[in-house]
Structure 1
Amino acid sequence: MISICMEYVEDRADKVYVYASREEGVTASDFFYMINDKYVEPHKLNDALENEEESYDVSAERNFMVLDILNEDIGKIKALCKEYKRDMPTEMKLIYDVKSGNFKAEYKYDLVYTHDEIKTATHIFNEWFDEIKNNNL
Structure 2
Amino acid sequence: MKEFEDRFSELQADMISICMEYVEDRADKVYVYASREEGVISSSFFYLINNKYVEPYKLNDALVNGEERYDVSPERGFMVLDILNENIEKIEVLCKEYERDIPTEMKLIYDVKSGSFKAEYKYDLVYTNDDIKTADHIADEWFEEVKKNNL
Q: Give TM-score, length-normalised by structure 2.
A: 0.90
User: In the alignment, is residue 41 of structure 1 matched against residue 48 of structure 2?
Assistant: no
| Structure 1 gap ranges (5+) | none
Residue 94 of structure 2 is matched in structure 1 by 80
Q: Give TM-score, length-normalised by structure 1.
A: 0.99
Residue 30 of structure 2 is matched in structure 1 by 16
Counting matched residue pairs gives 137
- Structure 1 residues 25-78: Cα deviation after superposition (integer angstroms, max 9, x where no partner): 000000000000000000000000001100000011100000000000000000
Q: Tell me the percent identity.
A: 81
Residue 6 of structure 1 is matched in structure 2 by 20
| Alignment RMSD | 0.3
Matching residue's letter, 2:20: M
Distance across 2 between alignment mates of 1:27 and 1:48: 29
- Within a 5 Å distance, the mapping from 1:1-137 to structure 2 comes to 1-137=15-151
Distance across 2 between alignment mates of 1:8 and 1:114: 30
Matching residue's letter, 1:106: E
Distance across 2 between alignment mates of 1:122 and 1:74: 16
Instruction: Name the structure where helix makes up a greater proportion of residues.
Output: 2
Where 1:64 maps in the other structure, the secondary structure is helix
Distance across 1 between alignment mates of 2:150 and 2:102: 29
- Structure 1 residues 103-125: Cα deviation after superposition (integer angstroms, max 9, x where no partner): 00000000000110000000000
